[in-house]
Amino acid sequence: MHKFIPNTKEDKNKMLEAIGVESIEELFTEIPEEFRLGRDLDLPEQMAEMELRKHMRDLGKKNQSTDDLTCFLGAGAYDHYIPSVVKNLASRSEFYTAYTPYQPEISQGTLRVIFEYQTMIAELTGLYASNASLYDGQTAVVEGAIMAVAKMRKRETVLVSASVHPETRKVLKTYLEHQDIKVIEVGLDNGVTDINDLKGKMSKDVATVIVQSPNFFGIIEDIEPLAEVAHEQKSIFMQSVDPMSLGILKSPGEMGVDIAVGDAQCFGNGLNFGGPYLGFIATTDKLFRKLPGRIVGETTDEEGKRAYVLTLQAREQHIRRERATSNICSNQALNALMATIYLSTVGKQGLKEIALQCINKTNYAIEKITALEGYELLFDQPVFKEFAIKGTSDVQKIKDKLLEEGILGGYSLGTEYDTFKNSALYAVTEKRTKEEIDKLAEVLEVI
């Protein structure tokens, strides 16, 4: 197979002749010399199809998936069990080839799925309405913040807790620094949002306060008092939430949260090498007209039959032009479909069971690990499916040793928090068995 563009020398000469240039280099004379590479790209020789297939297969074998390793790694991406029915149904071509459903006449199936997804997200979060989904948990936080600023108009400060995923905070800052919106962090107190620091930073200029619970350290935060502090200044209160935890924990809506966001990768979506994931956003009846992106609504057709259409499009950029508060014109339909199939499969009871198993197995792992010499909890707080352990040796050394034993584990907290050296996060989903947790403890013991 030819590398890159399969043109022969004769092809090239013919083309050059047709446009009246001597050489290909001549086409690039507009680019200053100093910016040009001055040589060919350093690429290997081309391969025949048969060789290439073997080469790709060999490369593929270097990948190690969570089928090969036991995964205790989390930090935003989680190894939950995916029932076979999810991929089986989602890979029907009616679903995976469907583009954004502009035409309700021919897209009732896709629209119906999105409507069901929205209903499930709204019910889970205890809020009035959800949109058709967003790219991922990070951009969902950003969209929520932009929505709050649009609602509050004259307020230009966003407060975000340091217990929100570090990558989420980075994405938030990247988006907002170009919109003249100030992002200020609220400090930590024993692994959770410092409510006194929050009180000190509140003002009439704060459009929204963003917290995460379960937070980046896996800790379940006391949401209600934080929401009260925000509401005293009429600010919008946002919670980024692991939706799996809502099988057992109080919903954002019940706790006074105005906008709930998060990543629903945990619902039937694989780790996917880091993406695509599934962002969700849900909000109250006061705010839903500010929701970004697509929303599907239920209506009746001219024969009085139930039908689905894209709705509330007056918010979107093709209507509002430069005044649109969001420029998301798509959604993660296929990922949302998988989440919908997942939730319909496990059901209310199943979701509760999975959430309970996460809590129980996580607490078993904490018990086992903290019983070992040299390991202790970084924070003594209630957790959901993840926890931070402080050790005595270098986290990278621990990770290498674990990998030798077929265990993927330990997100190093030192990378993002200077104060938490020699500390690592471990995630325990319902997939982990007692034997796997015992083995993790055994390996940790001898390091």
Partner 1 sequence: MKVKKGLYYSEDHEWVKVEEGVATIGITDFAQHSMGEIVYVELPMEEDELEAGDVFGVLESVKAASDSFTPVSGEVVAVNEALEDEPELINESPYDAWILKIMMSNESEIKDLMSPEEYEEFCNKED
Which residues contact partner 1 by CB under 8 A? Answer: 152-154, 234, 289, 314-315, 319-320, 323
8-state DSSP, 134: B
Q: Are strands 236-240 and 259-263 parallel, antiparallel or unpaired?
A: parallel
CB contact at 8 A, 110 and 93: no
Q: Could you tell me the end-to-end alpha-carbon distance of the chain, in angstroms, rounded to an integer? A: 49
Between 39 and 318, whose beta carbon lies closer to partner 1? Answer: 318
Between 61 and 323, whose beta carbon lies closer to partner 1? Answer: 323
Backbone angles phi, psi at 23, to 5 degrees: -145, 165
Q: SS3 breakdown of the chain: % helix, strand, coil, rounded to 5? A: 45, 15, 40
Q: Are strands 157-161 and 129-130 parallel, antiparallel or unpaired?
A: unpaired
Between 319 and 329, whose beta carbon lies closer to partner 1? Answer: 319
Place of tokens 């969700």: 280
Rg (CA), the chain: 25
Between 86 and 152, whose beta carbon lies closer to partner 1? Answer: 152
DSSP structure string for 189-232: ETTEE-HHHHHHH--TTEEEEEEESS-TTSB---HHHHHHHHHH
Between 80 and 155, whose beta carbon lies closer to partner 1? Answer: 155
3-class state of residue 430 by DSSP:
coil
| Stretch (H or E) spanning 380 | none
- Shortest reach from residue 312's CB to partner 1, in Å: 9
- Shortest reach from residue 54's CB to partner 1, in Å: 58
DSSP structure string for 1-34: --SSS---HHHHHHHHHHHT-S-TGGGGTTS-GG
CA neighbor of 432 nearest in space, from 398, 387, 390: 387
- Shortest reach from residue 231's CB to partner 1, in Å: 13
- Shortest reach from residue 75's CB to partner 1, in Å: 38
Q: Is 386 exposed, middle or buried (0-12, 13-18, 19+ CB in 10 A)?
A: buried
Task: Return the structure tokens found at 123.
Answer: 């019910």
Between 62 and 154, whose beta carbon lies closer to partner 1? Answer: 154
- Shortest reach from residue 319's CB to partner 1, in Å: 6
Task: Return the structure tokens found at 430.
Answer: 């319902």
8-state DSSP, 169: H
| Stretch (H or E) spanning 124 | helix 108-125
- Shortest reach from residue 140's CB to partner 1, in Å: 23
Between 202 and 346, whose beta carbon lies closer to partner 1? Answer: 202
- Shortest reach from residue 289's CB to partner 1, in Å: 6
Between 154 and 178, whose beta carbon lies closer to partner 1? Answer: 154
CA neighbor of 263 nearest in space, from 273, 254, 275: 275
- Shortest reach from residue 314's CB to partner 1, in Å: 4
Task: Find residue 137's DSSP bridge partners.
Answer: none
Backbone angles phi, psi at 388, to 5 degrees: -105, 130
Between 192 and 309, whose beta carbon lies closer to partner 1? Answer: 309
Between 27 and 319, whose beta carbon lies closer to partner 1? Answer: 319
Between 288 and 379, whose beta carbon lies closer to partner 1? Answer: 288
